[in-house]
Amino acid sequence: MLYHPTLKFTVFALGLLGLGGIAQAQDAVNLRMTIWSANEAHLKLFNDIAAGFKKEHPNVTVAYESLPFDTYTTALTTQIAGGNAPDMAWIFETSAYDFVKSGALYPLTDTLKAAKGYNLEEVSAGATERWTQDGALYAYPFSTSPFAMFVNNDVIKAAGAKTPAEMIASGDWTWENAIATASAVGKSGKGGLVVRDFNYQNWQYLTSVWNGWGASPWSEEGKTCSMADKPMADALSFIHDAIFTKKAMPGPGEMVDFFAGDAAMTITQISRASLLPKDKPFSWDLVPLPKGPAGEYALIGQAGIGVMQSGKNAKTAAEFVAYMTNPENSAKLSQFFPSARKSLLNAEVLKKTNPLLSQEQIEKVVINGIATGKVMPGHSGFAQIQQMVRSNLDAIWRPQADVPGTLQNICGQIGPLLKR
């Protein structure tokens, strides 16, 4: 519990018992992990892993609790506020800083290193950076999924435009040309390019575009706003132009679903390949993100598993996380959640788990993406910053807009929050 002294004391006392008493090891332990997937195939795999753990630890039972994706972090913090924190929780990369810095998580490094055959060293430092504080890993990034461009060649050819594959072959796969193709399709009545999940609200997904300009919402260490800097202003002006002048991207309030065959291209994580239609298939392709004025780039989205410090079985929970993410289980997980383990980052392994992708796609998009990609931006207090930027950006999402002025405004508002 949070602040009730008696309960806090009880938890403390139980913690002491847990350290001192071996007898307790025989007691039944029920662990609960909150997740944002309710997918059957995912749950089946997770339950298999839990069953495997139970073979070694007969007294431990793991249950998964699916919370709705949209309100996941809110629901999780509500549980914590009510004193009902789960033992383990999935954490979005955007809210990673909040969790890691707050002290709410149990440090995992020792447990992971102690686990047999775990080989934590093969997980790259770039992948664990966001989840680490003062040398200790507070959540394990079990999913490292690159963003890429899905392409509907049928729609593009029908509009008489150049396909990304053709542009890649001729070496001019740039944002300028990508938008030209999208614009041609957009004017033909279909949707052009969709940045999936953006919906004019979740602006952080635009990172997949503006990284091509070398733009970022705030400085590396997170203290100063860089939204008003030239790269960001250029990138957003480009996007604004693509939406309102070139009609290359669906405007606000226009619903276009790439996977229903209604758009030329979409930027999303490669795991969404499973959404490609099976009954009315179209000729699709998967290509890396186009080159921007600042050169080639890649972007990855991450998800971590953390153990809540407040749970009375934190140690056991950490052991379960070690089991769930050991090399063997990571290989199983990687069919849905690409792993950052080097031993799993080869075309052979990935081909097995991503049967829809070709050898070339895997090498160019997945392996290269994970190796070179930057992680989506995040910050402590992200929810509030996100909301503040979102409500101000609305001023940009109309035909006549003052992009630089709006960005100045945003920096004025989020500046104080960033410094905190």
Summarize as ranges the residues that interact with another protein (CB under 8 A). 2-3, 36-42, 63, 65-70, 72-75, 77-78, 80-84, 98-99, 102-104, 200-201, 251-257, 260-262, 269, 271-272, 274-275, 277, 280, 310, 336, 381, 383-384, 387, 390-392, 394-395, 397-398
Nearest to 14 by CA among 316, 306, 318: 316
Residue 219 CA to residue 32 CA, distance in Å, equals 37
Nearest distance, CB of residue 10 and another protein, angstroms: 12
Nearest distance, CB of residue 139 and another protein, angstroms: 13
Nearest to 228 by CA among 418, 406, 395: 406
Nearer to another protein, 38 or 169 (CB): 38
Nearer to another protein, 3 or 116 (CB): 3
Nearest distance, CB of residue 90 and another protein, angstroms: 12
Nearer to another protein, 21 or 103 (CB): 103
Nearest distance, CB of residue 65 and another protein, angstroms: 5
The terminus-to-terminus CA distance of the chain in angstroms comes to 27
Nearer to another protein, 177 or 266 (CB): 266
Nearer to another protein, 63 or 169 (CB): 63
> Position of tokens 């070139």?
246
Nearer to another protein, 104 or 265 (CB): 104
Nearest distance, CB of residue 120 and another protein, angstroms: 25
Nearest distance, CB of residue 162 and another protein, angstroms: 26
